[in-house]
Structure 1
Amino acid sequence: MSEILTISGLTKRFGGLTAVNAASFSLTKGEIVGLLGPNGSGKTTVLNMISGHLAPSGGTITLNGNTISGLAPNRIALKGVARTFQLVRGLPSLTVAENVIAALAFGRRKLWGDEARSEALARLAEVGLAQRADQSAQELTYIDQKRMELARALAAEPELLLLDEWLAGLNPTELRTGIDLIQGLADRGITILLVEHVMDAIRALCGRCVVMNAGRKIADGPTAETLTDPEVVKAYLGDDHA
């Protein structure tokens, strides 16, 4: 399989702090890869650089062989990268459908009017929200807010989807639904990089994991092996458990 995303020597400094230190890894098309590590390890900073919300201090990011590091978020989105955020960023004054229509209006095809609404309903159906299309976004439950955010991300027609703790805070039934939803997207050929702390989801979804600690990549390999790697166990649990 061909590589869709290649990260080489990626570095981000904030003043004297190095948040990401020369990280390198790649994703092949259709993979679901977990990006793991304790809080403060640099995971979200990596997502922010891939999606253009932060400019790297060093290194390169390529998508389908084209350099995207340092481009503005809207330009990266138009090249096929979409993401969700730890805090759901909906537009509460709009309906659920209007939230997705807003994403379509600024997306790859710049859809408006009836065509945009039809497309929005299709994206909402994909995430199980079609019946709530005309409700106010602020009336949604937590899981449905997350579904709406995912529908907005899918409206960008991504080849690469970055999920930042999208499964956090869900009850066991919602988690199962969320896992099935993400697997279904991968089955359609969307490549997914998943920052997540819910290990049941990582084991269910990710064939491979990249693990970071203190800004460095410390492991990259099959999920079962990676989660039992002594350095990974030490990073998560401390010296006493290694």
Structure 2
Amino acid sequence: MSLLQVSGLTRRFGGLVAVDGVEFNVAEGEIVGLLGPNGSGKTTVLNLLSGALAPDGGSIRFGEHAIHGLAAHRIARLGLARTFQLVRPLGSMDCRDNVIAGLAFGAERRWGSAAQREADDLLARVGLEGRGHAMPGELTYIDQKRLELARALALRPRLLLLDEWLAGLNPTELLEGIKLVQSLRQQGMAILLVEHVMDAIRSLCDRCLVMSAGKRIAIGLPGDVLSDPDVVRAYLGDDHA
């Protein structure tokens, strides 16, 4: 069953067509990689799915709901959460309160001592056990990413959008991050991830969608897609295709 169905998705910025008629789907419990060179439109797609931007054309269905053009908070309450390429913690709030902010605005809003307990559980789940009173500015880069993931998980998403969540990690952190993402899928969560780390793509993804200049140029199994001449050309140029 398709959890997410995207058809003819289009977004323009003046004369630039950043996303040009893109179509794909994500099934329940599936991990799909959204790939492409810089400037290909990947993050714009995530912004359209999450409600940060409204599409100029096409449709987005999430479960039984048409969500294209809905406000971001309404989409989040339906069970679609995301992280950002540049981490965005609430800097004036400690880690626990960052997660409680997610708990307070999800479909099943939690407050008070129950929210505090769940926030601590989510911090432990992403590797930040005992760090609830730490301020985001005190955390390392990877731990700030963990915090943002915990806040997204506070929404209890059916579909999680990860925008280069594994970027910038050292080899040990990367292995930990891959295991964490795998654990989310094992619990039934579907994931759409924008990623440039090929080891992560091969380890995690059931299928990959590749974009170039706003268009979908390939979709399929990771091994097939990564060896596709059009994909090689988009990344490396005609001499390597």
TM-score, reference length from structure 2: 0.99
1:176 and 2:175 matched: yes
Greater alpha carbon shift after TM alignment, 104-113 vs 187-196: 104-113
CA offsets 1:162-198 (integer angstroms, 9 cap, x no match) = 0000011000000000000000001100000000011
What is the CA-CA distance between 1:219 and the residue it aligns to? 0.3
Shift of 1:24: 0.4
After TM superposition, give the deviation of residue 95 of structure 1 in Å. 1.3
What is the rounded CA distance, in whole Å, between the counterparts of 2:43 and 2:182 in structure 1?
22
Whole-angstrom CA distance in 2 between matches of 1:137 and 1:96:
6
* Aligned-residue identity in percent: 63
| 1:108-187 aligned within 5 A | 108-187=107-186
| CA shift for structure 1 position 131 | 1.8
Deviations 1:129-187 (A, max 9, x none): 12211212211111100000000000001000000000110000000000000000011
Whole-angstrom CA distance in 2 between matches of 1:136 and 1:24: 40
Counterpart for residue 31 of structure 2: 32
- Alignment length (residue pairs): 241
Q: Residues 117 and 185 of structure 1: is their aligned pair in 2 closer, same or farther, counting only changes over 3 Å? A: same
Shift of 1:65: 3.0
Q: Is the 8 A contact 1:93 1:138 kept in 2?
A: no
Contact 1:51–1:73 (Cα < 8 Å) also in 2: yes
Runs of 4 or more off by more than 6 Å in structure 1? none
CA apart distance, 1:83 = 0.2
Instruction: Provide the residue aligned with 1:8 in structure 2.
Output: 7
The one-letter amino acid paired with 2:237 is G
Quote the Cα distance in structure 2 between the aligned partners of 1:132 and 1:172. 23
Q: Following the alignment from structure 1 to structure 2, what is the Cα–Cα distance between the partners of residues 210 and 117?
A: 38
* 2:77–2:105 Cα contact (<8 Å) kept: no
SS in structure 2 at match of 1:130: coil
Following superposition, the deviation at residue 110 of structure 1 comes to 2.0
The answer to whether the Cα contact below 8 Å between 1:211 and 1:232 also exists between their aligned partners in 2 is yes
Give the secondary-structure state (helix, strand or coil) at the position aligned to 2:130.
helix
Matches of 2:186 and 2:88, distance apart in 1: 26
More displaced stretch, 86-95 vs 175-184: 86-95
User: How far off is 1:66 after superposition?
Assistant: 1.6
Equivalents in 2 of 1:98, 1:107: separation in Å? 14
Q: Mean Cα displacement is larger for which, 99-108 or 215-224?
A: 99-108
Counterparts of 2:65 and 2:132, CA distance in 1: 37
Match of 1:61 in 2: 60
User: Is the 2:9–2:60 contact (alpha carbons within 8 Å) kept by the matching residues of 1?
Assistant: yes
Which ranges of structure 1 fall in alignment gaps of 5 or more residues? none
* RMSD of Structure 2 on Structure 1 (CA): 0.7
Distance 1:102 1:119 in 2: 12
- Amino acid of the structure 1 residue aligned with 2:3: I
2:225 is matched with 226
- The Cα shift of 1:74 comes to 0.1
Measured in 1, the distance between the counterparts of 2:83 and 2:136 equals 16
